Amino acid sequence: MHTIPDPTAKRKRLRQRLGEPGLIVAPGVFEMISARMADRLGFDTLYMTGYGTVASYLGLPDAGLASYTDMVNRAAAFAQGTETPLIADGDTGYGGLLNVAHTVRGYEAAGVTGIQLEDQEYPKKCGHTPGRRVIPLEEMVRKIKVAVESRTDPDFLIVARTDARTPHGLDEALRRAQAYSDAGADILFVESPESTDEMARIAATFAKPTLINIVEGGRTPVLSKTELEQMGFKMAIYPTAAFLAMGQAVENVYQTLRSDGDTTAIRDRLYNFEAFSRLMGFEAVWEFDRNHAQD
C-alpha cells in the first residue's frame, strides 16, 4: 500500500538544491510520526537527529549507547516512509575504517540521502553537552576518505562534523573542517560555535556548503533564517525543536489527565483524530477494505 520512494531521485534533488541560492532549513525527525508530519510540508530535506532518535527508540541519552543496527534500521524507516530527502546521523561511523565503510554502504542501501559523520572519540556524546573528546585529525581524514570511496551513488552526501570547537577552540575546528573538505566531504559542520562572530567566521571560511546546528537552549546563538543566510550558511538543522515541543505537549496532556481525570480541558489542543489517521495512511487501508469487501 506504500510505494518506497526512489532514493536516487531524492539524492539528485538535494544535490541540485545545494547549488541553488537560499538557506536549506532541515527539521529534525526522530520517529515516524514526526517524519510523516514534516514530509508533507515541502522541506528540501529532513534531518534524522541522533539525540531524538535514540531518546524515542531506546529511551536513552545520545552517548554512544545506540548501535549501528539500531540507527540504520531507524534511518531506513524514515527514508523509505517519506518522499523528502533525508540526512541521517551516522555518529562516528560505529568504529574503525572498516566500520565506516560498512556504515556508509548500509545507510545508502537504506535509502538515505546523506550521512553525517563526526570526529569524536567513542563513545560519542551529543554535540551541545559537555565531555566531548575528538580523535586525531589524521584519523578522521582517513574516515572521510573511506566514506567517500565507499558510496556507490556520487550524489550520496557526506557531511563531515567536527566537535573540536568546545575542547580545542575555533581555530582547531576550522583547521579540521578544511582537512575534511580536502578529503572529499560535501558539507562541512563545525559543531557548537558559541557566538555570532564565530558563526560568521565559520560560514565565511569555506568554499563548500556549511551547516549550522540550531539547538534551542544549546551553546550556539539562535538566529533568524535571514541572519544565517546573510552569514553564508547553506543549511540549518533544527534537531531538537519538534521533540522539545512534543515533550511539553505530552507532559501537559498527562498532567491534565492526572489532575482532572479526563481530557475535557485540552480537547481543543489535540490533533484531529480523523486527520491523524489519514496522515498515518489509513485511507489506503479503507480503500483496500472497500475493494476487497466480501458480500
| Per-residue pLDDT tens digits of the chain, which is 295 residues long | 567 889 999 999 999 999 999 999 999 999 999 999 999 999 999 999 999 999 999 999 998 899 999 999 999 999 999 999 999 999 999 999 999 999 999 999 999 999 999 999 987 877 677 778 999 999 999 999 999 999 999 999 999 999 999 999 999 999 999 999 999 999 999 999 999 999 999 999 999 999 999 999 989 999 999 999 999 999 999 999 999 999 999 999 999 999 999 999 999 999 999 999 999 999 988 888 889 986 5
Mind listing the domains of the chain with CATH numbers? 7-246 (3.20.20.60), 248-291 (no CATH)
- Residue 289: how many CB atoms within 10 A of its CB? 9
Per-residue cell: 185: 566531504
What pLDDT score does 131 carry?
75
Please tell me what DSSP assigns to residue 139.
H
What pLDDT score does 126 carry?
73
Identify whether the C-beta of residue 17 lies closer than 8 Å to the C-beta of residue 24. Answer: yes
Identify whether the C-beta of residue 233 lies closer than 8 Å to the C-beta of residue 211. Answer: yes
Name 124's Cβ contacts closer than 8 Å, sequence gap at least 6. Answer: 62, 63, 64, 91, 92, 118, 132
> Which helix (H) or strand (E) is 116 found in, with range?
strand 114-118
Nearest to 84 by CA among 133, 143, 29, 148: 29
Longest dimension (CA), the chain: 74
Assign 63 to helix, strand or coil. coil
Angstrom distance (rounded) from CA 274 to CA 271? 9
Angstrom distance (rounded) from CA 3 to CA 25? 26
User: Counting beta carbons within 10 angstroms of the beta carbon of residue 178, is it exposed (0 to 12), middle (13 to 18) or buried (19 or more)?
Assistant: middle
Mean pLDDT of the chain: 95
Kindly report whether the global pTM for this prediction surpasses the value 0.85: yes
Assign 238 to helix, strand or coil. strand
* Half-sphere CA count of 187, side-chain side, radius 13 A: 29
Angstrom distance (rounded) from CA 70 to CA 20? 34
* ω into 5 cis (within 30 of 0): no
Q: Which residue has the cell 534511518?
A: 75
Per-residue cell: 122: 567513542
What pLDDT score does 123 carry?
78
What pLDDT score does 2 carry?
67
> Which helix (H) or strand (E) is 190 found in, with range?
strand 187-190
Identify whether the C-beta of residue 193 lies closer than 8 Å to the C-beta of residue 165. Answer: yes
Q: Kindly tell me the number of DSSP H helices and DSSP E strands found in the chain.
A: 13, 8
